[in-house]
Structure 1
Amino acid sequence: MSVESLDVSEKHHELQPQVVQDKSCENCGAPLDGQFCAKCGQEITSNIRYFGTVILHLLDDIFSFDSRASRTLWPLIAKPGFLTQKYFEGKRVHYVPPLRLYLFISIIFFLSLKFFTNFGAGSVPVISAETMQQNLANKIVELHSSEADVDKQASIARLQILLEQVSQNKRIPLQNQAIKLAQLELKQLSSGEGLSKEEKKKYDELQNNVETLKTKDSLITVSNQEDGTLRFDFLSEEMNTKLTEQVTMLKNKAEIAFSSDPSKLIEQAIGKLPQLMFVLLPVFALLLKVMYLFSNRLYMEHLTVALHSHSFIFLAILLLELLSEGQDFIVETSAFAADMMQYLAIILLTWLPVYLFIMQRRIYQQGYFFTSIKFVVIASIYLMLMLFTAFIAFIWGLTSI
């Protein structure tokens, strides 16, 4: 190699660092040496990108589960408090961050909850009142034209009562129950084999429902006055009137939903739970802060405990759902495997409260006695909060149907 070429190469290497140093941060103007500014921390890459690229980066930030997932999920389910302690110690790179972990597991959990929950409205579908009236009338005429006997006379009497209940009752809950009962009655008369065991059970249940509804003006009563209204002294007359109207509307929606097809209400209520649970997380962290006021831990540390404990609860319930579905699927092909799944479900269900107790003791470093007392108090208060959250989800679901 010639001296001239060596000289050119050396000049090239001397100029290369100078090119890097010429680059400056668009935010503060400091020289750059790498992908981030050493002075203000801004990334070199521009945030002005194609919309699709932004969405992909956002999804990657939330759901990116690389090799850290395998190091995170097993301790989450088997080592109480391990992830939280590592996070407090500053060892965070090897594990999925608490918030990302919670978001990922909670989204999968609530999606599976909608999938695994049985939204069926029952074995008897509801048809229109007009169609049922016509079907009942036709069946009565058919029975009258056939050879008379005691059983047929009794059937005609039952059909006439049902026809009256369907046609004259304008209360939707009672009408729906009467329509369902009439469907089973017609099926019983038309089928030579009669009703199945489940259908007979449903038939008796519908009869009881109809009799109960006939004696009550409403299944749901929400009032504090003798006239059935809801009034409070600290509200104005106009506000009390609006409150009564809103409560009456929600009550009617609830009666119709429960008596016809509760699946829509259940779907709507479950759909509201993720938002409500996300609001409940900081409340749970505040509860931990109060119960461990002298633990010298910051609120964000208690929030980390809340994120990890809820992630475990959702993951455990998700596994229980999968075991239950798997057991139902293979029970006919392999009884042994189904029994093993049942035992695993029992173990996991027992492990759930034990895990939370061990986690609480390891994180806050208190003895068994005080940990037990605080665990019971926290569980009791949080259970009431959960019931209140479920009630809010129910009311919110009613407003959406």
Structure 2
Amino acid sequence: MSHGKIREDKTCLNCGHQVEERFCPHCGQENIESRHPFYYLFTHFFEDFTHYDGQFWGTMKNLLFKPGRLTKIYLEGKRTQFVPPVKLYIFISFLTFLFISFQIADMNFGLQGADNEKSLKKEIQKAVSENDTIRKDIPESRDITIGISSEDGAPSKLSDTKTRDTIKTNRNGIDLKEVFKSKSITQSFGLQSMEDFDKKEEKNGNKYETIRPFVAKVFELEERGHSPREIVDLFIRSSIQNLPKALFIYLPLFAFLLWIFHSKKKWWYFDHGVFTLHYFSFLLLLTLLIFVVNKLLSYFDENTFVIVMKILFISAAVIYSGCYFFIAHYRTYRTHPALTILIGAILFIINYVLFLFLLIGLGVVSFLLMH
């Protein structure tokens, strides 16, 4: 219930009718003061989801643990008991997108913070490649000052206290043996530059012209000092970041596939849209919970127990999301169990493949636009 102060004037500001209690009997507007503190813009948004006898929390409980119940009740016409499907989806999508954005921003900040280390690796590797006698001439337990400043403004030093094969910086502890062993993604495909790619394309009749921007982006990231693993991580993160967008784009197609596989006389496209909104709201909420749990576990030391807990939770969430679809489908459409399994399996496979392509496609676009 809103905590706004009730106006002394009993005339509704919206329609001009007399308001005896809190709400206008003619238009339903709440007769409270129209001037509020700035924070009211945000608190009022959340109040809309938590008022009316726990409407929001009842919706969350049914959405998570009672597949199909919200859709069934809504289609029966009982629409004031729970949060409406569109409003529910927008709210959960907002929270999920916001949390994922913060997570991705935090990851990107970590990568930017490591740029100095990558530049240092690159400069040292270049120096060693130009003069392969550097490591041979380094005396035991000697510090060599290089012209790269550390965070406190003092020059960084390279030391070799145990072996001439290992040089480490005082600040970052970089093992150059790993730098020399590293192999880029493009080199593993026999490419040294984009000119090599273009020459091979000419010989192959431009078979892979569509992936040229992707290859160019990989070259760009390698030039900036990113390792193959980091490049793969960047692509995965860009795909994860687009998950809420992909779900929103895929909404009408998911409902359309449901419409194709069910009776057109009994079920309208609207009905399938309600089912889709509830199911996608569940997927977003489950995704949000996975990210929150993963974030909480990241505060603990990375030991076997924490890793096992992450794997178990994610595996359980994936299995539950699949089972949830079949249960929700059966409770909503009331088809024969065998037919539910058959139609559900076909829809699940089709949607999984199409959605995966959409998610990867958006991930590629975001990857290419990455600065």
Which TM-score band (shorter chain)? 0.5 to 0.7
Q: Is the 2:251–2:276 Cα contact (8 Å) retained in structure 1?
A: yes
SS at match of 1:91: coil
* CA distance in structure 2 between the partners assigned to 1:217 and 1:351 by the alignment: 46
Which is richer in helix?
1
* CA distance in structure 1 between the partners assigned to 2:164 and 2:270 by the alignment: 62
2:49 maps to 1:73 = no
Q: Is the 1:270–1:393 Cα contact (8 Å) retained in structure 2?
A: no
Q: Is the 1:80–1:356 Cα contact (8 Å) retained in structure 2?
A: yes
Please give the per-residue CA displacement for 1:7-48, whole angstroms capped at 9, x wherever unaligned: xxxxxxxxxxxx98xx79988x9x66675584xx595989x9
**Percent of aligned pairs with the same amino acid:** 20
1:353 to 300, 319, 322: 322
Alignment partner, residue 256 of structure 1 = 220
* CA distance in structure 2 between the partners assigned to 1:130 and 1:347 by the alignment: 42
1:190 to 167, 186, 198: 167
Shift, 1:271, TM fit: 4.2
Q: Is the 1:323–1:345 Cα contact (8 Å) retained in structure 2?
A: no
Please give the per-residue CA displacement for 1:356-399, whole angstroms capped at 9, x wherever unaligned: 11100110000121111111111111112212212331243113
2:289 maps to 1:313 = no
Please give the per-residue CA displacement for 1:177-214, whole angstroms capped at 9, x wherever unaligned: xxxxxxxxx9952259xxx9x9978865x247575254
* CA distance in structure 2 between the partners assigned to 1:388 and 1:341 by the alignment: 26
2:188 maps to 1:212 = yes
Q: Is the 1:250–1:399 Cα contact (8 Å) retained in structure 2?
A: no
Matches within 5 A, 1:99-248: 99-115=86-102, 125-127=117-119, 131-132=123-124, 135-136=127-128, 140-143=132-135, 145=137, 188-190=165-167, 204=181, 206-207=182-183, 209=185, 211-214=187-190, 226=203, 228-229=205-206, 248=212
Alignment partner, residue 292 of structure 1 = 262
SS at match of 2:369: helix
2:49 to 64, 68, 75: 64
* CA distance in structure 2 between the partners assigned to 1:131 and 1:201 by the alignment: 15
Q: Is the 1:65–1:96 Cα contact (8 Å) retained in structure 2?
A: no
Shift, 1:121, TM fit: 5.5
Alignment partner, residue 392 of structure 1 = 361
Query: Could you list the runs of 5+ residues in structure 2 that have no partner in the other structure?
Result: 1-8, 140-162
Query: Aligned AA for 2:98?
Result: L
From the superposition, tell whether residues 58 and 299 of structure 1 become closer, same or farther in structure 2 (CA, over 3 Å).
Answer: farther
* CA distance in structure 1 between the partners assigned to 2:358 and 2:326 by the alignment: 23
Alignment partner, residue 234 of structure 1 = none
* CA distance in structure 2 between the partners assigned to 1:329 and 1:53 by the alignment: 31
2:257 maps to 1:280 = no
Superposition TM-score, scaled by structure 2 size:
0.64
Alignment partner, residue 82 of structure 1 = 69
Please give the per-residue CA displacement for 1:315-370, whole angstroms capped at 9, x wherever unaligned: 223333344444554567995x9877765555444322111111001100001211
Matches within 5 A, 1:358-397: 358-397=327-366
2:82 maps to 1:95 = yes
Higher-Rg member (1/2): 1
RMSD over aligned Cα atoms:
4.8
From the superposition, tell whether residues 107 and 24 of structure 1 become closer, same or farther in structure 2 (CA, over 3 Å).
Answer: closer
Give the total of aligned pairs.
318
* CA distance in structure 2 between the partners assigned to 1:133 and 1:224 by the alignment: 30
Q: Which range is displaced more, 136-145 or 83-92? A: 136-145
* CA distance in structure 1 between the partners assigned to 2:221 and 2:244 by the alignment: 22
SS at match of 1:94: coil
Shift, 1:299, TM fit: 1.6
